[in-house]
Amino acid sequence: MSVVEAPVKERFRYEIDLVDALEPTFAASVFKRHDPDVETFREVPAARGVPDLSAVRFDRDRVAQRLEAGVRCLSTDVEVRAVIALRTKTMTITELAARIGMTKDYVRRAVVPLLLDLGWLDGGGERLRLRPEARPVGRRVVTVEAKLRDWLRAFNQARHQQLSADAAYIALDSAHSRVALERLDGIAQRGIGVIVVDAATNRHRVAVRPQRILRSVDTAVGRMLVAERSLELHLRGERAGQVAPVFGWYPPEHREQSAS
């Protein structure tokens, strides 16, 4: 009697293949469908780590106003923290330094000249004020960490990315997603969503959406940082960042490797 073997479920061979399958369409599942203001990017460094995919809903009117006024993109968390602090009120250099945890001398020598050069400040002097056109442009940020099999590693990396997103997801090969799918409630309760991608069809589905566990104030710096870095790529006509270096910044793990 002949034995008929069960067909082997098709699976992705490489992680990049999963990302390639997910990139063109996932934004339609985590934003309003066909939202023309949403752009998708790869490898944009966040506050902690580098998500495989980031999708940003831009405020197009603010982007246009900034371009017309010559307000250029921010690239580091120090700049972003300074801008967020100055959005609340006009400050002296001493007040700003205390707010962002930097020395007064460093703010005077490094932060203020850079923000002036990038077009964010309304003149110099002791009191610092943002220009009216100098406003954040990212209305919503979603990140995705993709893994073929290791859902727990993806989950831990996505937990870091929560600090830079309105919603953070992991994406898994459907052929290796059983264990994660059995834990959907626990994953979502910790603020992470799950997407499964089918290698045979290149189609995906959102298995669970994340519950919100962080306040907007806790993620403000990270979200703005990803939006600013993504906008810089967008204005250059690019869709992917470079991990080493990108925007004059190295991820901590790359610095450690370079020093060894």
Look at residue 234 and tell me whether its pLDDT is greater than 50: yes
Model's pTM, two decimal places?
0.87
Sequence ranges of the chain with CATH classification 1.10.10.10: 61-128
Residue 84 near residue 99, CB atoms below 8 Å: no
Strand residues in the chain grouped as ranges (E): 38-42, 53-58, 91-92, 127-128, 138-147, 167-173, 192-197, 204-208
Fold that domain 61-128 belongs to in CATH: Arc Repressor Mutant, subunit A (1.10.10)
CA distance 154 to 136: 29
Phi, psi of 158 (to 5 degrees): -65, -30
Look at residue 2 and tell me whether its pLDDT is greater than 50: no
pLDDT band at 9 (very low <50, low <70, confident <90, very high): low
Classify burial at 194, counting beta carbons within 10 Å of its beta carbon; exposed 0-12, middle 13-18, buried 19 or more. buried
pLDDT, greater one: 1 or 13? 13
pLDDT band at 126 (very low <50, low <70, confident <90, very high): confident
Look at residue 123 and tell me whether its pLDDT is greater than 90: no
CA distance 215 to 241: 27
- Quick: pLDDT tens for 198-225: 999 999 999 999 999 999 999 999 999 9
Contacts of 83 (CB under 8 A, 6+ apart): 74, 115, 120, 130, 134, 136, 224
Residue 216 is encoded by which pair of tokens? 């907007």
Across the chain, mean pLDDT equals 89
Question: For the residues of 190-239, what is the DSSP string, one character each?
Answer: TTEEEEEE-TTT--EEEEEPPPP-S-HHHHHHHHHHHHHHHHHHHHTT--
pLDDT band at 32 (very low <50, low <70, confident <90, very high): confident
How far is the CA of 49 from the CAs of 11, 44, 79, 116, 226, in angstroms?
Answer: 26, 9, 18, 28, 11
Q: Give the model's pLDDT for residue 124.
A: 66
- Quick: pLDDT tens for 41-90: 999 999 999 999 999 999 999 999 999 999 999 999 999 999 999 999 99
